[in-house]
Amino acid sequence: RSHAPSIDESTSLVNVFLALQISGAAAFGLTVLSACIFRGVKRHPIWFSFCISWVHFGLSYSFLLFAGQQYRPSPAHIPCIIQAGLIYSAPFLVMGTCLGLVIHLMLNILSALSPSPQKKSYRTAINILLVLPWMMWIAIFVGVLVFALSHKEEVALSRNGTYCVIGDYSIPKMTSISTTIASTSIVGLEAFIALLLYRNRAIVNIFSQSLAMAVRILIFTVLGFGAIAVGLVFTITKTRGIQFDIIIAILPPSAAIIFGTQMDLLRGWVFWKKPAHPRPVMPDQTLLTLTTVDSVTSQIEGAPAMANVPDKPTVLDAQTTVDTPTEYNIPAVHAFLALNLIGGFGMLLILMTAGLSRNIKRLSTWYSFCSSWVISSFSYSLLFLTGQQFTSPPIYGLCFTQASLIYAVPPTTSATTLALLLHTLLTFSFSAGQTQRQVNLRTLCVLVMGPYLIFLTIFIGVALYVARDPSGLQISSQRTYCNLGRGNIHDTWLRISMIVSALISTAIIVVQFQVIALLYQNYPALRRNESPAFSHVLRGILFTLTASVTFMLALIFHSGIMDTNFLLSTAIVLAISDKHDLTFDLILSIFPVLALCIFGSQKDLFQVWTSWNLPRREDLPTLSLGKGMSERQVG
């Protein structure tokens, strides 16, 4: 990479670029967290999708920094290719969610201003706006990855040293043109919304209720013009100075300030102050509340035409049966949640330790494996983290999200486990004279990305199904988590999830036994070379046990639905009986803790936690398995 005349100045600008991106992602993450934990804050799923897309945007542009490759003249190929895929797909995602948010606001305004007493819900359009940006992101991300893997020489760090780019001009130009068109559409829709508000100013109390909304729309429009300008520059030029990268980096924190400084969010952080009593609506007053950005629905308060129209439900369907507190075991539910949270936060601590320490090296599939268990643990404890675990009934949006997650995470954790084992099998040097084998880039991308493509497929499938038919959505009889219940068509996604998990778990057992067999055959030679093989054999045995239990429970759960396996008749009773449902949930909650104990008890992790005065990594002797992988490189 060629540097500008002043290297210090260039490095400082790169630091500014990264600080802006990370601060924007962190601010949006805090905004989403606030909306989840504060009971007085209500948001529509499109708003959450919009905020999460900006978190993804900021993390995508700072991916090299987290991978430890930002300040290297030639970053490693794999992180560079992944970041290239992320940054060329991220603009499509944020533009799609921005467009969805603005369209939703426009539809709500048109519905609220309609003279018809029965307001349109635009349910199908809302579902499309919610899902389409993420489907577009997946398609473009996979497409860019395939291109980058086929043209590795085209992927390199940009001249400005900010992020990895593709040298082929067609892909960046396509992204720039699409961003410009989307930004222009957003600005046009915002102008139309402003015109609607102005024309109906006689019935819209802008100064008391919607002034903040109008200001936010105005500021966001200014950002839209900035995005158009940047898109045009990127479209008509091939190389640009780092100043344009800084302009891109300003967008996430600016958008976070616009949407994260709303009064209900700010009031949540000053919880020690008593909330002010809302001003009552006078009988002769017609008030339009624009709540696309502020809440779940839009409505006209005090309007005679709406007097007999029931409010849109914000909780579970009325058909859902909610047990009384005497019908479930609260201590057991607390144990279920505690095990998941211990496993989740423990695996998160391991990830942070390995990522921040220079002396710890892990396989990329190891990071993917740990991340999947963090997602799994927090998915099962989502209601608790948002203060809805024992609310009767919990908020519909949270239950909707958790149900989609818990059907997607079992195949994902199984797939990341299989990927880690295959990666170990393909790279580990089992004999003293064998050099470390390398996995080609295509195989590594499949191992890392494959499990999360499975996750997204099942998550989106369940979300679309629930959005179309929410009648089966319920919280389990033991108050552990939300699901789709049992019976009829609601079992379809459960069957899919469990069958995929069972098939992957079968492969896990086969691969794990092969790994242990190879370690056993080469154990004398590995021991003579002072290899830490014993600890890996022990972890292999423990993990085989975990995989076996996972496989058996997947079969039990699936057999409980199909009711065809006579040999598992006892286990079938455990799976389908309400009396034993909590036992099954408690067994599930043990898995994250087992993963934590197996993969979090390694010596290099303990060394980081117990001492911060270790010698530098290059000064340490390397314990090698012959000429193969060092101890610190084995996940």
Per residue in 476-532, pLDDT (tens digit) is 777 888 888 665 555 677 778 878 887 887 887 788 777 777 767 776 666 555 544
| 380 has a pLDDT exceeding 80 | yes
| 108 has a pLDDT exceeding 50 | yes
pLDDT at res. 495 = 78
Q: Which range has highest mean pLDDT (208-217, 227-236, 312-321, 380-389)? A: 380-389
Residue range 301-321: average pLDDT? Answer: 37
Where do the structural domains in the chain lie, given as residue ranges?
A: 7-269, 330-612
Q: Which range has highest mean pLDDT (221-230, 314-323, 437-446)? A: 437-446
Q: Which CATH architecture has domain 330-612?
A: Up-down Bundle (1.20)
How far apart CA 41 and CA 263 sit, in angstroms, is 10
As a CATH number, domain 7-269 is: 1.20.1070.10
Structure tokens at 128: 């499309």
Structure tokens at 71: 């300040």
Determine which of 101-115, 209-223, 384-398, 503-517 has the lowest per-residue pLDDT on average: 209-223
Confidence bin at 139 (pLDDT 50/70/90): confident
Within 10 angstroms of residue 618's Cβ, the number of other Cβ atoms is 8
Angle in degrees, CA 75, 441, 418, rounded to 5? 120
Structure tokens at 254: 């600016």
How far apart CA 145 and CA 178 sit, in angstroms, is 19
What's the per-residue H, E or C state across 136-167?
HHHHHHHHHHHHHHHCHHHEEECCCCCCEEEC
Determine which of 143-152, 274-283, 499-508 has the lowest per-residue pLDDT on average: 274-283
- What 10-16 contacts at long range (C-beta under 8 Å, 24+ apart), as own/partner pairs, is 10/160, 10/161, 10/242, 11/71, 11/161, 13/160, 13/242, 13/246, 14/70, 14/71, 14/160, 14/161, 14/162, 14/242, 16/246, 16/249
Fold: same for 7-269 and 330-612? yes
pLDDT at res. 575 = 39
pLDDT at res. 576 = 41
Structure tokens at 275: 């909330």
| 568 has a pLDDT exceeding 50 | no
How far apart CA 287 and CA 202 sit, in angstroms, is 10
pLDDT at res. 533 = 44
Q: Is the C-alpha dihedral spanning 66, 72, 76, 81 positive or negative?
A: positive
Residue range 278-307: average pLDDT? Answer: 39
More confident residue, 121 or 398: 398
Confidence bin at 563 (pLDDT 50/70/90): very low
DSSP 8-class letter at 297: -
| 577 has a pLDDT exceeding 60 | no
More confident residue, 237 or 551: 237
Length of the chain: 635
Q: Is the C-alpha dihedral spanning 330, 335, 336, 337 positive or negative?
A: positive
Peptide bond into 592 cis (omega under 30): no
pLDDT at res. 55 = 92
CB 542 within 8 A of CB 536: no
pLDDT at res. 224 = 62
Share of the chain above pLDDT 90, in %: 3
End-to-end distance of the chain based on CA atoms, in angstroms?
32
pLDDT at res. 113 = 75
> Mean of the per-residue pLDDT values for the chain?
71
pLDDT at res. 323 = 38
CB 399 within 8 A of CB 446: no
User: Where would I find the beta strands (DSSP E) of 441-594?
Assistant: 474-475, 482-483
Residue 85's contacts (CB-CB under 8 Å, 6 or more residues apart) are 141, 142, 144, 145, 148
Strand partners, 315: 395
CB 129 within 8 A of CB 213: no
How far apart CA 61 and CA 65 sit, in angstroms, is 9
pLDDT digits (tens, 9 = 90+) for 619-633: 444 443 344 444 334
Record the pTM.
0.51
Residue range 365-370: average pLDDT? Answer: 86
Confidence bin at 298 (pLDDT 50/70/90): very low
Residue 623's contacts (CB-CB under 8 Å, 6 or more residues apart) are 530, 531, 532, 630, 631
pLDDT at res. 8 = 56
Share of the chain above pLDDT 70, in %: 65
